Structure 1
C-alpha cells in the first residue's frame, strides 16, 4: 500500500513538473513573460512593471477610443432629448387659441349694440405679446361655428385648437341690465369663457398656455374697466350702479372651463414617467427568457429543434410574457384607484375622470400596454441579437431617449425634425392612454395600428437578427480558437 501511494505521488509530481512551462534564461519561471500573471503561485506585480508596458499602451489606447466613442454617442443621443425643447418660444404660435365673439349675435340679444365683444376682439387684434406669451391668438367669426358656443368647445375637444376664449352672446346685455336696473346678482365672470383641455397635455397647458392666458387677459380686463368707467361717467341714467359695484369694477371677467381635468395625480406615471419602465421591462425580459430558449437551442439530451419551430416558440413565448407583464403593469394603476369604470362624457361638457370605454376601459388599457410592450420589446430583442453586449445597452439608451423625447412633450412645440416621433411606439401608447383614462379625442385605431405595425415588422426581422447573432457568435468562436 505504501509503495503504491509513493508511486502515485511521484507520478503526480512528475506530471506537475511537465506542466510547468520552461522559462528562458534569466526569466523567473513562476511568471508569464507576456501577461505577468504566471501560475497560481506567481507573485503579483505592479501595474507599472516593465513587463506590462505593451499591455498598458494597448489598454490606454482602447480606453481612449472607448471613452471617445461613448462621448460622441452621449452628445448625439442626448441632443435629441434636449433639442425637443430648444425652439419652444419660436414655435409658441403653433399653440392655437381661438377668440370667438358671440356678443349680441343671436336673438334675443341681437337688438343690443355690443360693447364687450368688439372691445376684446379689438384688443387681441392689436396685441403685441411678449415672447413667452406669443401663442397663436386667432380671431374666429361666430358664424364659422353657426353662432353656437358649444361648437367652439367641441373644436377644443377635438384638438383643432389648444384653447378658446368665448365672449357670450348676452355679455353686453347682462352688463347693461346690471347698471341700469341694479341687478345685485350680476356675475362678471358670465361675460366670457376660457375653454381648455388639461388632459390633452397637462405639461404644455400649465407651463405655457395658462400663464400666457393670464398675462394677456388681466391687462384686457384692466383696459376695459377704464373705458367702461368713462362711459358710465358720461351716462347720468346709470345711478343704480351703486347697487351693483361689481358691474363697475371689474365689470367683466372670465369663467375657466376645463373640459377634461387631469385627475387623479396618480395618473401621471400612466402617461409619462411610468412608461419608461415599460420599455425597460420589455428590454430585460429578453435576458430572463434567453436561458429558457437555450434549453431548445443547445441539443443536450435531445435532437436539434427545427429552426422555424424554434422561431415560433421564441416569438410566442415573448408575446405571452408581454401579455402577463402588461397585466401586472396595468394592475398598478388600478390598485392606486385610477378610475376605469366611469362613463364617457359629451365632448362639449367639462367632466371629471370620464373613461372612453366605460366599464371596459381597463381591458382596453391592458391591451394597449400589451401591444405596446410588443412594439417596444420585440425591436429590443432583435437589436440585442444583432449587436450583442455591450452595444445592446447603447441601443436601450437610444430607444428610451427617442421614445421619451417624442412622447412626453407636445410635438407642436418641437421642430419639424421630430415629426417622426408620431410613429414611435411610446407616442401612441401615451395618446391611447389619455383617451382611455380621460376620454380625450380618440385616435385609438391609429394608436393600435402603429403598435401592431411595429410588432409585425419586428417579427419579420426576427429570423435575420437570429442569423446575424449566430454568425457573430461563430466568428467569435473561431477567433478565440486562433
Structure 2
C-alpha cells in the first residue's frame, strides 16, 4: 500500500498540473483572439466607433480582445466579411454599415418612426468554432465595448443636436415623431454565422474523447490478458500480426455503436446541408473548398470514420505502451483519465513514465479551449489526436471551416507511429525475456558445477562422503533396514531444463 500511495502521488503531481495549467491562464490571453473592425460608413458613426476601438487597443487591461482595424475597401459587402469569419481569418468582426450616418440624419430630419438603430452596425461571429471562447470572451468583451461606445455617441450626439436645434420647431416636431434618433441613435445586431445549437455536441467534442480512450483501453487490457496464455507459443511474426490486426476489428463495431448513440440524441450530422439561410449566407465559389455539406447518411459515415481513426490512434498507443509497463500498472490509467488526467507511471523507466503521461494528459488539456488561450507550451495540441477529432466533429456537425484532410492525416500518422512502436517494443521485451532465461539457466548450471567439481580428500566428492556416512549410520542403527537411496553416489545431479517456449527463441538446456 505504501508503494501504491507513493506512485499515485507521483502521478498526481506529474500530470494534474499540466491539465490545470491549460485552464489557469485563459483570461491572460484574450487579446490573442483577433477581432476585426471595418468602417463602411466613413462618417460620424464610423469615426466614433473607430475611436472607441482604438482606445481599447491602446488600453493596458487584460479584458480586451485582439482588435484589428481593417480597410473597408477590401470588403465590398457584409457577406464578404461573413465568409472571412467562417474561413476563420478572425474570430469576429464589427462592421459599421454603409451610409449609417446619412440614414440616421435622414430619419431624424424626416421624423421616420420606422428607423431601426440596430441597422447601424452588425457584429459577426462564429460560435461553433469554439463555444467556450465565444461565450466567455468574444461576445461579452465585444458587447461591452460596443454598448459603451454607442452610449457615448448618443450622449454627445444628443447634446450637440439639442444645442444647435433648440429653437427649430420643425426639427423638434420631427424629433418627437422619431425619438429613437436622439435617445438611442445607434445600436447593433448580432449575427451568429455558425451557431453552436446542439448542446449534446459538447459530449462529442470534449468529454466524448475520454470515453473513446476508455473503450480503446478496455480492448487493450482484454487483448493483453488473452495473449499472456498463448504468447510463449507464438512466433514473433504471428504475435505482431495478432497485435496489429486484431484491435481494429473491435474498434469498428465500438466506434459504430458510439456514433449510433449520437443519432439517438439527435446530433445534427446533416447540419452542413442547412445552408444558405438569411443569417448564414451561401459561400461564393472562391470559398467552396472550406464549406462542406453532407446529408444525414454522408455525415454519419464520415463521423464514424473519424471516430474509428481517433479510437485507433489512441488505442494503438496504449497497445504499444502496455508492452513496456505491463497490466500491473495500467490500473493507474482509468481513474486519472476519467478526471481529465493522464496515464499512470510505469515502473520500467522514467522515459516510459513521461511517454505515457504526455500521451493522455496532453490530449485532454487542449480539447476544450482554443490553444491560443493557453500558454505557448500547449501548441503541441495541433498535432495530437483528441484536438483533431474535436475539430473534425465540429466541421461535420456545425459546418465550420473544414480541416478534415489535415485531421485525417494527423490521426493516420499516429496510427502509423504506433504500428511501428508495437513491433519495436515487442522485440525489446522478448529480447529481455530471452536474456533473463539465459541468465537463469547459466546461474543454475554454475551452481551445479560449483557443487560437483569441488576437490575432496582421496578423490571422494563431498556428496559421496556424506552419503557413505549416512549409510553407515543407518546400518549401525538398524541392520535390517536397507538404505532407500541405492543410486550411484558419483552420478551427477541433473538440474532442471529451462526453455523459453517459442519457435523464435532459442532453448536453454543443460550441458553436462
Residue 202 to residue 344, structure 1, CA distance change in 2 (3 Å)? same
Return the alpha-carbon distance in structure 2 between the equivalents of residues 307 and 476 of structure 1. Answer: 17
Return the alpha-carbon distance in structure 2 between the equivalents of residues 391 and 250 of structure 1. Answer: 66
Q: 1:324 aligns with which of 242, 247, 253?
A: 253
Contact 1:92 1:135 in 2 (8 A): yes
> Which residue number corresponds to residue 189 of structure 2?
255
Return the alpha-carbon distance in structure 1 between the equivalents of residues 149 and 307 of structure 2. Answer: 46
> Which residue number corresponds to residue 37 of structure 2?
99
Matched, 1:274 2:212: no
Q: Secondary structure at the match of 1:238?
A: helix
Alignment of 1:204-353 (within 5 A): 204-233=133-162, 234-235=164-165, 236=168, 238-239=171-172, 240-293=174-227, 296-299=230-233, 305-342=234-271, 343=273, 345=275, 349-350=279-280
Contact 2:31 2:65 in 1 (8 A): yes
Contact 1:344 1:357 in 2 (8 A): no
Matched, 1:137 2:67: yes
**What is the number of residues matched between the two proteins?**
404
Q: Secondary structure at the match of 2:68?
A: strand
Residue 183 to residue 130, structure 1, CA distance change in 2 (3 Å)? farther
> Which residue number corresponds to residue 109 of structure 1?
none
Unaligned 5+ residue runs, structure 2?
A: 283-290, 334-341, 345-356, 445-512
> Is the deviation greater in 361-370 or in 463-472?
463-472
Q: Secondary structure at the match of 2:29?
A: helix
Alpha-carbon distance, 1:69 to partner? 4.6
Matched, 1:468 2:428: yes
Contact 2:125 2:193 in 1 (8 A): yes
Return the alpha-carbon distance in structure 2 between the equivalents of residues 130 and 441 of structure 1. Answer: 33
Alpha-carbon distance, 1:444 to partner? 0.4
Q: 1:173 aligns with which of 98, 102, 112?
A: 102
Return the alpha-carbon distance in structure 1 between the equivalents of residues 228 and 309 of structure 2. Answer: 26
Residue 136 to residue 348, structure 1, CA distance change in 2 (3 Å)? farther
Q: Please give the per-residue CA displacement for 1:290-343, whole angstroms capped at 9, x wherever unaligned.
A: 3444565354xxxxx443233223311101211111101111111101112341
> Which residue number corresponds to residue 4 of structure 1?
none
Q: Secondary structure at the match of 1:165?
A: strand
> Which residue number corresponds to residue 323 of structure 2?
385
Matched, 1:188 2:117: yes
Contact 1:232 1:238 in 2 (8 A): no
> Which residue number corresponds to residue 462 of structure 2?
none
Contact 2:270 2:396 in 1 (8 A): no
From the CA coordinates, give the structure whose radius of gyration is larger.
2
Matched, 1:83 2:21: yes
Alpha-carbon distance, 1:429 to partner? 0.2
Alpha-carbon distance, 1:274 to partner? 1.8
Q: 2:294 aligns with which of 357, 363, 369?
A: 357
Residue 232 to residue 357, structure 1, CA distance change in 2 (3 Å)? same
Q: 2:384 aligns with which of 421, 424, 428?
A: 424
Return the alpha-carbon distance in structure 1 between the equivalents of residues 310 and 433 of structure 2. Answer: 30
Task: Kindly report the root-mean-square deviation, in angstroms, between the aligned alpha carbons of the 2 structures.
Answer: 2.7
> Which residue number corresponds to residue 155 of structure 1?
84
Q: 1:71 aligns with which of 1, 4, 9?
A: 9
Return the alpha-carbon distance in structure 2 between the equivalents of residues 407 and 396 of structure 1. Answer: 16
Return the alpha-carbon distance in structure 2 between the equivalents of residues 357 and 307 of structure 1. Answer: 45
Q: Secondary structure at the match of 1:273?
A: helix
Q: Secondary structure at the match of 1:268?
A: helix
Residue 132 to residue 350, structure 1, CA distance change in 2 (3 Å)? farther
Contact 2:309 2:411 in 1 (8 A): yes
Residue 435 to residue 366, structure 1, CA distance change in 2 (3 Å)? same
Contact 1:188 1:246 in 2 (8 A): yes
Return the alpha-carbon distance in structure 1 between the equivalents of residues 207 and 407 of structure 2. Answer: 19
> Which residue number corresponds to residue 410 of structure 1?
370
Structure 1-normalised TM-score?
A: 0.78
Q: 1:446 aligns with which of 406, 420, 425?
A: 406
Return the alpha-carbon distance in structure 1 between the equivalents of residues 432 and 127 of structure 2. Answer: 50
Return the alpha-carbon distance in structure 1 between the equivalents of residues 274 and 226 of structure 2. Answer: 44
Alpha-carbon distance, 1:257 to partner? 0.5
> Is the deviation greater in 397-406 or in 262-271?
397-406
> Which residue number corresponds to residue 26 of structure 1?
none
Contact 2:52 2:145 in 1 (8 A): no
